[in-house]
Amino acid sequence: MSVLLALLVGQLASATASQSCESGSSAPGQALLQSHRMAPLKLVAQTSEVGEEKRTMSAITTHRDKSMSAITTHRDAINKAMSAMSQPTGINPSGAAATLDQTGYVAVADRCCQSEMIEFIQRQIFVLGMEVCFEPGLRGIVPYHSCEYGLQSFDKLTADLLRDSVDRCGWLRNSGQCQPIPADCPEFTEIIPFYDCGCNRTTASVLDISTASVVSNNLGGKGPVNTDPEEIRYSSGTSHKGEPFDLVITALTPYTAGNIKNNGKDGGFGRITMKYASEAHFKFSFVEPGTNTPVIQDEVHMSTYDLDGGNGGAGGLEYVSSVGYTGYVTDPNPNLLATLFTDTHELRTKFTSIGRSWDNPSDPDTLTADQRRNAVMFFYKNVSSFEVNFGIEGGTSGRTLFFSFLSALNDRCGH
């Protein structure tokens, strides 16, 4: 495994922002916990008797003490489980299926997809024996546990839910105990807009490999055109503002090619062949045409495909990861396993085949259901380059990294 990747453990109380997700102070985050209220704001006098107030506060304090005790017990269990992990464990990264623990939480938060985090939070609410009384409250807490305010933790999510369940103006309660929110509770309107995933089709740069020219084809000095610079260069890219660029791929680590004559492109896909039981780290750079001058792109979508398990084990298990992304998109029910790593405190996710083979796609914009479930689209913002690690575990024959900058998965992005 690349030295750039190390197993993610013990991020139980981290508030460190990821490279591409902006950190925020706790005050805006807490404001998100209270969303639009069903009743308009009204200022009314408090008429509760002192004795009743004391009994109410005593009940809340007792409930809160029990909740914090449960959190402590849960934290101890997570610490024990995480410390016992000796090898990375692949999980389904879907919000509807990721494990309800720190590992699953981080995998879903790393997506920067609010809809996936909603699924994850709803499952934890059910496990805690609660129900959502006011849907806008759920929408309000999600950005705080997606990517807008930096990486939180599963324990923090649980604590937030337990706290809000006893808050007088809270949006969820124990099952069967929903009541109208008091009319004098505040109404917060500064809510981050909801989106499925945090990518945007309008601001994404366009590189259609089917119409691009392969200007250089000598990745790592391996050929097939040994007189070219040690790179693969694609022309004809344009930013969403219409500014042209080239894409240049270079090898950052030793690269062992597979069938080298297949490097370059195949229809709408870029291709990098690899020998079995090997891996390499690549840099994808956006530069002014014909130069190596960096050009910053507002947003880039890069998809990889066909991460499968070979034919009878001959091809080995393929895996891919990236450095510098804002988030990633998969099908809501992916055929991929995610393993979590950390690199200089920056969250990374490695995607691996589940051990089955699928038919290769022929068009990145037209995928079968299985091809879609076997693809992952990373999205990047304000970058002039990013990195991709590709490898094959075992096997006896070479494999190919298929990638594109157009993808059917962008239907989960905003306009």
238 and 149, same domain (yes or no): no
Percent pLDDT > 90 in the chain is 57
Q: Which residue do the tokens 């922002």 mark?
A: 17
169 and 230, same domain (yes or no): no
- In terms of Cα–Cα distance, which of 10, 18, 30 is closest to 76? 10
Q: In total, how many domains does the chain have?
A: 2
Which of residues 174, 205, 236 is at a domain's end? Answer: 174
Q: Which residue do the tokens 């990264």 mark?
A: 93
Q: What is the pLDDT of residue 287?
A: 98
Q: How many beta carbons lie within 10 A of that of residue 324, not counting itself?
A: 19
- Structural domain contains residue 257: yes
276 and 392, same domain (yes or no): yes
- Structural domain contains residue 326: yes
Range of the domain at 153: 6-42+51-174
- Structural domain contains residue 182: no
- Structural domain contains residue 186: no
- Structural domain contains residue 208: no
What are the tens digits of pLDDT across the range 263-298? 999 999 999 999 989 999 999 999 999 999 999 999
- Structural domain contains residue 305: yes
Which of residues 142, 174, 206 is at a domain's end? Answer: 174
Q: What is the pLDDT of residue 354?
A: 78
158 and 237, same domain (yes or no): no
- In 259-413, DSSP assigns E strands to 264-266, 269-274, 279-287, 297-305, 317-323, 327-329, 336-343, 346-353, 376-383, 385-393, 399-404
Q: What is the pLDDT of residue 309?
A: 67
What mean pLDDT do residues 1-24 have? 35
**CA contacts within 13 A on the Cβ side of 385:** 14
What mean pLDDT do residues 356-375 have? 86
* pLDDT beyond 60 at 89: no
93 and 231, same domain (yes or no): no
- Structural domain contains residue 261: yes
281 and 397, same domain (yes or no): yes
What are the tens digits of pLDDT across the range 120-165? 999 999 999 999 998 888 988 998 898 878 789 999 999 999 999 9
Q: Which residue do the tokens 């022929």 mark?
A: 362
What are the tens digits of pLDDT across the range 28-71? 333 333 332 222 223 233 333 445 444 444 544 454 444 444 43
pTM higher than 0.85 for the full model?
no
- Structural domain contains residue 185: no
Which of residues 174, 199, 222 is at a domain's end? Answer: 174
168 and 269, same domain (yes or no): no
- In contact, 316 and 304? CB cutoff 8 Å: no
